[in-house]
Amino acid sequence: MGAGHAHVLYREATSPVHRLPPEVKIAAMVLFTLAVVATPRTAFWAFGGYALLVAAVAALARVGPGWLLSRAAIELPFVLFAVALPFLGAGERVEVAGLALSVDGLLGGWNIVAKGTLGVLASLLLAATTTTRDLIVGLDRLRCPQIVTQIATFMLRYLDVLVGEARRMRVARVSRGDDPRFLWQLRGFAAGVGALFLRAFERGERVYLAMLSRGYSGRMPAVWQGAGAASAGQWLVGATVPLVAAGIAATAVALT
Amino acid sequence: METLAMHISNGIVNGPVAAVFAAFALAVLTLCVLRGRRDLDDRLAPMAGLVAAFIFAVQMLNFPIFTAGVSGHLLGGALAALLVGPWVGALCVAVVLVVQALVFGDGGVAMLGLNVTNMAVLGTAAAYLLIALLLRVLPRTPAGLAVTAFVSALVSVVVASQGFVLQYWLGGTTDLGGNLAGLAGTMAGVHLLIGIGEGLITATTVVTVAKVRPDLVYALRALRPAAPAPVVPVAGGAR
């Protein structure tokens, strides 16, 4: 736990994207996603443009395509839904390889796969280049209400507490002769879930009180936030991605 | 079609509907921030963090039901409402959703308003209304609390899933024709099962916490019927 609070998706590296202040990255990512979603689904070329944009940022951030694609598997359930749509959709049908598929369903499925994938890739790039601590700092600088950043801070902090406590309880169970295998682990886990919660809370409460006694007042000290807020130049650099995306989206809307 | 149990991703519901729900979610969350500030004291702050962490952890448990195609996860709205109250509770669930959308790509960023409306707003609100009702009606025993937790969790999950059906009906990007009723039925069925699991976890957790540290359960503190404390006579009456 001592070694910083980097999450599993963070990729330790130095790159221009890593060095960009977090608030710039968050804003760019959100705006990029909005531009993608606003694009008409029939403007196929536009999605190619977005994919190129994502690839360019990934290359800048030194994030390999293999890493990105394997992490993007989180999206799979929605891909399945998208595959089902051509069969379920209503309206006009088209014959593809002997199957009568709904045109609307095909477009809808494409819509979900394309926009969903681009969104997932964008957030993965954000995650790969931003530590959780920076993420909170970024949200704080974007004028997120303090109560929200506070809950988020404690959530990320206590995740480690929760996981550590669960591991301790499992070791305790095993060392007392429990032999959990596969699904039967669930029974022991379910029986202990209340205890786990309480133990994690009591540990978390001590963490909180220790923080209070060291002067915590609902907001992390300025030192913790590292370098200062983004400069105008950094905002401009960060704005290139959403601006290009917005340009593509506007052209696509105008053309269709 | 049963695979919708994950958060709504980009492109499933069209832009205007997503924007309307985003505005709605933002308005409700603003209210929650204003009301939640009053609730958040030294006891509730770490609790809120832990509840959020707990929900985050259980939402990662994407468990398959029946077949590989069907998956769902727990929502945690009822747990949050019971332990930290409706205002902070909704914020906890919303924080979980925001972090998941930003760094894990679970649920599209543009669809955040829809997800927050379903799980943080609808789920927590339904749970808290039921909790407020049931805690007054049921006996004040661990069993009564367990039933309250179970029922409110179950109902909140189903309500949240129907929120998605409503949104899909308003602005689904693909016209399912007559299949919308089927969608509603499937969502309700799958989430009934999830709700049972969620209800069990919520009930075990809350009852354990209430037994050991009843002061930590917001619902028990806030909904205590007209406190009997003032009746205690002051010995001697020296004032």
What distance, in Å, lies between the first and last C-alpha atoms of chain A? Answer: 52
| One domain for residues A131 and A29 | yes
| One domain for residues A42 and A78 | yes
| One domain for residues A86 and A123 | yes
Is residue A98 pLDDT above 70, yes or no?
no
Report the mean per-residue pLDDT for chain A: 78
Average pLDDT over residues A209-220: 82
Range of the domain at A212: 145-225
Q: Comparing A3 with B146, which gets the higher pLDDT?
A: B146
Return the number of other C-beta atoms located less than 10 Å from residue B134's C-beta: 19
Output the pTM of the full model: 0.81
Domains of chain B by start residue, with CATH? 2-222 (1.10.1760.20)
A2 pLDDT tier (thresholds 50, 70, 90): very low
In the DSSP assignment, the letter for residue B119 is I
| One domain for residues A218 and A156 | yes
Q: Which residue type, as a one-letter code, is found at position B78?
A: A
Is residue B67 pLDDT above 60, yes or no?
no
pLDDT for residue B99: 84
Q: Is B3 on the interface with A (CB under 8 A)?
A: yes
Residues of A in contact with B106 (CB under 8 A): 74
Determine the 3-state secondary structure of B20 from DSSP: helix
pLDDT for residue B80: 87
Query: Which class for B28: exposed (0-12), middle (13-18), buried (19 or more C-beta within 10 A)?
Result: buried
Asked if A28 contacts A61 with a C-beta cutoff of 8 angstroms, the reply is no
Return the number of other C-beta atoms located less than 10 Å from residue A213's C-beta: 8
pLDDT for residue A43: 80
Residues of B in contact with A205 (CB under 8 A): 46
Is residue A214 pLDDT above 80, yes or no?
yes
Residue B193's Cα: distance from chain center in Å? 16
Of the candidates A29, A34, A193, which has its C-beta nearest B205's C-beta? A193
A48 vs A246: CA distance, rounded Å = 14
| One domain for residues A53 and A104 | yes
pLDDT in tens, B81-126: 888 888 888 888 888 888 888 877 666 777 788 888 888 888 888 8
Of the candidates B9, B200, B212, which has its C-beta nearest A78's C-beta? B9
A105 vs A90: CA distance, rounded Å = 7
Classify residue A95: in a domain, yes or no: yes
| One domain for residues A193 and A220 | yes
Question: Residue A67: which residues within 8 A CB-CB, separation 6 or more?
Answer: A11, A128
Residues of A in contact with B205 (CB under 8 A): 193-194, 197
Average pLDDT over residues B63-71: 43
Classify residue A2: in a domain, yes or no: no
Q: Would you state the structure tokens that stand for residue A157, as one six-digit string?
A: 């902090």
| One domain for residues A207 and A151 | yes
CA A122, A146, B99 angle in degrees (round to 5)? 25
pLDDT for residue A114: 83
| One domain for residues A38 and A157 | no
Average pLDDT over residues A88-104: 65
| One domain for residues A123 and A245 | yes
| One domain for residues A154 and A220 | yes
| One domain for residues A46 and A134 | yes
Q: Comparing A63 with B177, which gets the higher pLDDT?
A: A63
pLDDT for residue B179: 65
| One domain for residues A194 and A91 | no
Domain count across chain A: 2
Q: Comparing A187 with B72, which gets the higher pLDDT?
A: A187
pLDDT for residue A88: 64
Average pLDDT over residues B58-69: 52
Q: Would you state the structure tokens that stand for residue B200, as one six-digit string?
A: 């069990």
B223 pLDDT tier (thresholds 50, 70, 90): low
In the DSSP assignment, the letter for residue B116 is I
Classify residue A109: in a domain, yes or no: yes
What distance, in Å, lies between the first and last C-alpha atoms of chain B? Answer: 70
Asked if A106 contacts A178 with a C-beta cutoff of 8 angstroms, the reply is no
Asked if A54 contacts A46 with a C-beta cutoff of 8 angstroms, the reply is no
Report the mean per-residue pLDDT for chain B: 76
B65 pLDDT tier (thresholds 50, 70, 90): very low
Tell me which residue of B21, B5, B3 sits closest to B169, measured CA to CA. B21
Q: Is B178 on the interface with A (CB under 8 A)?
A: yes
Tell me which residue of A136, A158, A145, A204 sits closest to B42, measured CA to CA. A204
Q: Comparing A252 with A80, which gets the higher pLDDT?
A: A252
Q: Comparing B6 with A159, which gets the higher pLDDT?
A: A159
